[in-house]
């Protein structure tokens, strides 16, 4: 299995690049943001609770997102590997992820960290807020809170994986294609090194 974390602040392009990466490598995309928005759309108790935090730009409590990821891992026993987008976001989530993968006799191969200036992040999210309908995009104050939460609670998560020598920084500014190529350049050699257990089966 090849499991990677696409890491970066709000608006750094995690979702955009995830779509391209899962198509190329046949990975299962696990975005906690998307999973939470789906719970909100279905008006589940979890979604109703999570919305209170998301609308303010704050992180949803750890136990909620860890439970969702645990469930999603169990739901996909035949996956070639997982692409984690927007998870883990706290030290506790990082430890929980390692434990969950360990139970499945697998591990994180690499964390790819998108590097984008704060000015560019705000510009992208304000622009998306004009059309996305995402309640956390259409207020600049909420966007700033999301970035603050990231700097305070999420950025340190990279240190956890740096200790295991698993972090690769990638410039997250430029065209979508340029950034995708830079990500592929980091993934391909690692994937080769990890064979034979990472054979890609597009039918899975
Ligand atoms: P989540 O859904 O994860 O959102 P986010 O991290 O705030 O980031 P975005 O999804 O907005 O940005 P992105 O990096 O995916 O970039 P994108 O490709 O969309 O989380 C939302 C909320 O859910 C959190 O605030 C929290 O409350 C909660 N939550 C989620 N996970 C959690 C967790 N693990 N723990 C606790 N709480 C959690 O691109 C952004 C924009 O830029 C788009 O318009 C795109 O078209 C554009 N763009 C992309 N690439 C480029 C480029 N190269 N040049 C120009 N524009 C570009
Ligand atoms: Mg996203």
CA 101 to chain centre: 16
| 108 C-alpha to ligand 1 centroid (Å) | 21
CB 25 within 8 A of CB 104: no
Q: How far is it between the farthest Cα atoms of the chain?
A: 48
14 is catalytic: yes
Mean pLDDT for the stretch of residues 111-115: 98
Q: Write the pLDDT tens digit of every residue in 43-52.
A: 999 999 999 9
Q: How confident is the model at residue 204 (pLDDT cuts 50, 70, 90)?
A: low
Q: How confident is the model at residue 203 (pLDDT cuts 50, 70, 90)?
A: low
89 is catalytic: yes
Q: How confident is the model at residue 186 (pLDDT cuts 50, 70, 90)?
A: very high
What's the rounded Cα separation, in Å, for the pair 122 and 102? 37
128 is catalytic: yes
CA 63 to chain centre: 17
Report CA-CA distances (Å) from 1 to 27, 110, 159. 9, 12, 23
Ligand 1: which atom is nearest the Cα of residue 89? 34
Q: Write the pLDDT tens digit of every residue in 57-88.
A: 999 999 999 999 999 999 999 999 999 999 99
Tell me the Ramachandran region of residue 13: left when phi exceeds 0, alpha when psi lies from -120 to 50, beta otherwise.
left
What's the rounded Cα separation, in Å, for the pair 171 and 43? 37
Ligand 1 environment, Cβ below 6 A: 8, 10-16, 32-33, 36, 53-54, 57-60, 65, 86-87, 89, 93, 124, 128, 136, 146, 175-176, 179
| CB neighbours of residue 120 within 10 Å | 15
Give the pLDDT score at 194: 87
What's the rounded Cα separation, in Å, for the pair 8 and 11? 8
Identify the bridge partners of residue 111 per DSSP, sorted by sequence position.
5, 167
């Amino acid at each position: 299995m090849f499991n990677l974390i696409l890491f970066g602040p709000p608006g750094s392009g995690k979702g955009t690049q995830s779509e391209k990466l899962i198509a190329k490598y046949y990975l299962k995309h696990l975005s906690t943001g998307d999973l939470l928005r789906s719970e909100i759309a279905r008006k589940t108790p979890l979604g109703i609770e999570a919305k209170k935090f998301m609308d303010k730009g704050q992180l949803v409590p750890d136990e909620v997102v860890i439970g969702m990821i645990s469930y999603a891992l169990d739901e996909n026993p035949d996956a070639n590997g997982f692409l984690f987008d927007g998870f883990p976001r706290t030290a506790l989530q990082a430890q929980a992820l390692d434990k969950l993968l360990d139970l499945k006799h697998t591990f994180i191969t690499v964390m790819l960290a998108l590097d984008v200036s704060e000015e560019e992040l705000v510009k992208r999210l304000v622009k998306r807020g004009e059309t996305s309908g995402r309640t956390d995009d259409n207020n600049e104050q909420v966007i700033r809170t999301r970035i603050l939460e990231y700097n305070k609670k999420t950025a340190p998560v990279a240190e956890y994986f740096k200790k295991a020598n698993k972090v690769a920084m990638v410039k997250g500014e430029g065209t979508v294609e340029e950034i995708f190529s830079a990500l592929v350049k980091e993934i391909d050699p690692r994937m080769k090194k990890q064979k034979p257990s990472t054979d890609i089966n597009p039918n899975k």
